[in-house]
Amino acid sequence: MPDPLTIAGAAAAFKSTFDALRSAMGLLKDAKELLPSGDQRHQAISQALATAESSSKIAEAEIAKSLGFELCKCEFPPTPMLTVGELNGRPKTGPVYECPKCGFNTAGPFTYNRIAPERS
């Protein structure tokens, strides 16, 4: 059983890696906008970006799963679900996870105590 601090550290490291990757892809998008749309490089960058985006999402989902996150299957690649509250009951019966994309949560028919801000 890996200790929770190690998991949190790994998650933070992965997150900054993905943030860096996203900003690199953002720069590439900006560069693409500077080219006329008929330019072959415009097309090549679009294709490379689409592939990079989908591969990075799949990698992100795999890492999330290996760190123990639930995955929502509302789209592919899947979205890691985040803890938004705890189920009511005595004793507390466990966390409620929610998909940040579609809003599905694991509370089912049960009421839960929300600790995260409401979805906007």
The footprint of Zn ion (CB under 5 A) covers 72, 74, 99, 101-102, 104
Quote the least distance from Cβ 17 to Zn ion, whole Å: 23
Pick 41 or 119: Cβ nearer Zn ion: 119
Pick 50 or 74: Cβ nearer Zn ion: 74
Quote the least distance from Cβ 94 to Zn ion, whole Å: 19
State how far the Cα of 79 lies from the Cα of 94, in Å rounded to an integer: 21
- How many other CB atoms are there within 10 angstroms of residue 98's CB atom? 22
Distance of CA 71 to the CA centre of its chain: 9
Pick 97 or 112: Cβ nearer Zn ion: 97
Quote the least distance from Cβ 24 to Zn ion, whole Å: 26
- How many other CB atoms are there within 10 angstroms of residue 78's CB atom? 21
- 17: buried, middle or exposed (CB in 10 Å: 19+, 13-18, 0-12)? middle
Pick 35 or 77: Cβ nearer Zn ion: 77
Quote the least distance from Cβ 82 to Zn ion, whole Å: 11
Strand partners, 96: 85
